Structure 1
Amino acid sequence: MEILKLDDAEKVARLLERYIQSAHLNFLFGSGASMPAIQLAGNVEQEVDQHLVASEYEEANKKALTFIEELEYQHGFLPAGYTEGDDTDITLKNYLHFLSSIDRILFERKNILLPRQANVFTTNYDEFFEVAASLLPSLVLNDGFNRRIGNSGFEFAPELFFDRVYRSGTVYQHQSEIPAINLIKVHGSISWKRQANEKITLGEPETDQLTVVQKNNPKDVSDALAKRAVILPNMRKFESTLLDRVYFDLLRLYSNAMEMENALLFVFGFSFADEHILDITRRALRNPTAQVVVFSYSQKGAVDLEAKFSAYRNVIIIKPTDSQYIDFPVLNSLFDKIGAVPEALHD
């Protein structure tokens, strides 16, 4: 394991560029990426777990539902129902900046043997990636839903992930690959709907929230949770057979992506508190050609990451200097240095 302090951004950017040009590109995003619009999900998970340990199942249900409803409420301000400069605006612009940079990097990629494709794995339920992608007309985002069939909502079809998109010339039929980003939401999403036929479809996040009186009724809370197709990590009690199967299917996609030759994973806003993802990542690091680069928000967080990956030589932890934090703007500034970024993104 190697520890790099972010006191020389140019040096770190050159290191990232060298990896990017010769690797299959993957990202893992956690709840830290959606700050400041959304509080860290890890805090909520710990509180719910505490209720479960104490056999306070009704309180655990209520806490979990309240967090999901907050995400759904926040989604109502997207894509344009927010105030310039507020937390939602700041967070959405961070995602816009990131997706634009990755789209550009894939387009300019010099290695024609590798796909012009990046996989973005995220444990977040929010819709910032999807909304940001909708504001970038040239970006191809594959969210795993089949838009060719379905009358009552697009059906989830994970086999569509990793499909490559090509454009042909009109005269000589020359084919060129279009950059594409696979968005793989391993914990589900507030826009996923659970159907009676054991299918998951894409829809709008719920807008009806329970009243205070209803939240004191355990059945109302349980029914409200059952309508949402989200997987709450470390809270197995809330999962159904359907979601359990989907969860492990998506984890298998993560595992397969990391076992490819020259797999590269950038990790941001994620502490590896999810034991399943931590275990899969550690197993993938047995692949000698795999490389994991973890951006630690704080020096304190870096200590925990060092303990988790101390036995692995193909892990780089990038931590901030004494007076710094590695937040989303800092991450974006590093990828800015890999080629040029249009000035409009900085307006």
Structure 2
Amino acid sequence: MAQSHIISNDDDETAKVLAPYVQSGNLNFLIGSGASLPAIKTAGNIEKKLDKLIKDGKAEEADREMVVFIEEIGKTYRQLKDDAIYPEELDETFNYYVKFISTIDNILFYRKNEILPRQATIFSTNYDMFIEFAASNSPNIIINDGFDRSSGRSEDFAFTPEKYFDRTYRASSLYARRVEIPTINLVKPHGSLNWARRGSSLVYNPKAIQPLTSAEKANPAKVSEYLSKHFLIMPNFRKFHETLMERVYYDLLRLFSKSMEQENAALIAFGFSFSDEHILDITKRALRNPTSQLIIFAYSHNDIAIYEGKFAKHRNVSIMGPPAGIYINFPRLNNILAAVLPEIKNG
């Protein structure tokens, strides 16, 4: 069964537990909606709510609920894209992500295992753009989001998933010695607000889609048109509107499965409830690989039992949870990961 650990306020002690997996594992992260607090509310039970509306024959009402959900996230995208000064909650969340990817970059730079690539993969089920904007604010960090930017003539960069896991090297001009540069793959199985269709292809779309007016939200045709502009896997059983969306979704889930099937794969999960049945099933199957390890950071003490129930039959799952009345939020996770760095440097 899964192993649960009640972690103290001493981040160095937790870092000692985490360091061997970070030092010697193929490093992956799974990030859910809990990571984007307080700027964006968690998804909560929206999937069950939408499913019930659809089963009750209220598809138009379900679509309007989905519009409200997307527009709340879209508001943060427009602010990140257009505003020089962010509101307090947005700025807070943005800085959490900046520290998160900067710490991962440092971990990859300093870890001493020369056999493994200096590469980590972040799997995020969030539609928001915090990771992308955080990376753009950190010019030394290389993020590979799966889009081909080899041609600068257009903003419509084509989605090319085979570019994932490409490795980047820098050569010395004097001795021609190659040194691998840390890279972070960003895989978003549920889509993203900057994804759009162009014919039969998925492309990068930097333009924020404008929100609907109250009158437009009352018009089912306008609501349907608005939803069709986004390349998003909707959180309900009608997830797919077309074959392209379905193909991309399963291609990205295969990448997740492949990453977990690698030798010594380590997956650190935060802000993710594993309520997505597809991802939960794939994770359980991948854990048949005895060298893989799933490390879940539970937000609250009560969450520990929920994760224990989901992974009751898996010995290679560790649940890091706080004592009652304490919470593991994004700043705490960042502090723990930062505490891993000295362990790697001195290991």
TM interval, shorter chain, is over 0.9
Structure 2 counterpart SS, 1:167: strand
Structure 1 counterpart SS, 2:327: coil
1:160-171 to structure 2, matched below 5 A, reads: 160-171=163-174
1:114 paired to 2:121: no
Shift of residue 67 of structure 1?
A: 1.2
What letter is aligned with 1:4? Answer: H
> What count of residue pairs does the alignment treat as equivalent?
340
1:191 paired to 2:194: yes
Contact kept in structure 2, 1:72 and 1:205, CA below 8 Å: no
Aligned position for 2:146: 144
1:59 paired to 2:75: no
Gap regions ≥5 residues in structure 1: 342-347
Cα distance in 1, alignment partners of residues 342 and 88 from structure 2:
27
From the superposition, tell whether residues 87 and 46 of structure 1 become closer, same or farther in structure 2 (CA, over 3 Å): farther
Aligned position for 2:5: 4
Aligned position for 1:345: none
Cα distance in 1, alignment partners of residues 204 and 239 from structure 2:
24
Contact kept in structure 2, 1:190 and 1:205, CA below 8 Å: no
Deviations 1:132-170 (Å, cap 9, x if unpaired)? 000111101000000013635100000000000000000
Match of 2:159 among 156, 179, 184: 156
Q: Relative to structure 2, which stretch is displaced further, 319-328 or 206-215?
A: 206-215
Contact kept in structure 2, 1:73 and 1:207, CA below 8 Å: no
Cα distance in 1, alignment partners of residues 334 and 56 from structure 2:
42
From the superposition, tell whether residues 95 and 80 of structure 1 become closer, same or farther in structure 2 (CA, over 3 Å): farther
Shift of residue 238 of structure 1?
A: 4.8
Structure 2 counterpart SS, 1:270: coil
Cα distance in 2, alignment partners of residues 292 and 190 from structure 1:
28
Deviations 1:223-272 (Å, cap 9, x if unpaired)? 11111001113332553211111000000000000000000000000000
Q: Name the TM-score, length of structure 2 as normaliser.
A: 0.94
Percent same amino acid among aligned pairs?
46
Aligned position for 2:126: 124
1:312 paired to 2:314: yes
Contact kept in structure 2, 1:144 and 1:156, CA below 8 Å: yes
Q: Name the TM-score, length of structure 1 as normaliser.
A: 0.94
Cα distance in 2, alignment partners of residues 340 and 90 from structure 1:
26
Contact kept in structure 1, 2:48 and 2:236, CA below 8 Å: no
Aligned position for 1:174: 177
1:38 paired to 2:40: yes
Aligned position for 1:16: 18
Aligned position for 1:299: 301
From the superposition, tell whether residues 138 and 47 of structure 1 become closer, same or farther in structure 2 (CA, over 3 Å): same
**RMSD, matched Cα:** 1.6
Contact kept in structure 1, 2:30 and 2:122, CA below 8 Å: yes
What letter is aligned with 2:143? Answer: L
Cα distance in 1, alignment partners of residues 270 and 36 from structure 2:
11
Aligned position for 2:279: 277
Structure 2 counterpart SS, 1:289: coil
From the superposition, tell whether residues 152 and 185 of structure 1 become closer, same or farther in structure 2 (CA, over 3 Å): same
